[in-house]
Amino acid sequence: MSRGFLALFFVVAGILHFVFPAAYTAVMPPWLGWHAALVAISGIAEIAGGLGVLVPSRRRWAGAGLLLLCVAVLPANVQMLTDAIATGKALWLLALLVIRLPLQAVLMYWIWMATRPQGPARAAR
């Protein structure tokens, strides 16, 4: 069940990259180039990773890819917070953006737990 929710989370998040691309390009750090291409690539990676979580033979690779993706999008998460501070956004929004940063670590732990080898096969690797 946890894998199913994880897969759904990433597939939906990936699809949203194509439904609302401007929302994603708006939060990208200015020092990164190719915003539209990076949004599309990260959306594809989220969809592929989410689907890969469901396929036992691809699960470990999907997990590794999703973990790397979480690290790769961290600058955008930080950019959202710094932009919100700079533009004087509401305190509740700042609080949500601050909480989001450690939640990224929780998400990464969930990915790791859901995609690591289980049982006897794990001991053999």
20-62 pLDDT, tens digit per residue, is 999 999 989 999 889 999 999 999 999 999 999 999 999 999 9
Confirm if 37 and 73 have CB atoms less than 8 A apart: no
101 pLDDT above the threshold of 70: yes
What is the pLDDT, as a whole number, of residue 120? Answer: 60
pTM: 0.87
| Chain mean pLDDT for the chain | 93
Q: Which residues of 55-73 are buried (b: 16+ CB within 10 A; e: fewer)?
A: eeebbeebbebbbebbeeb
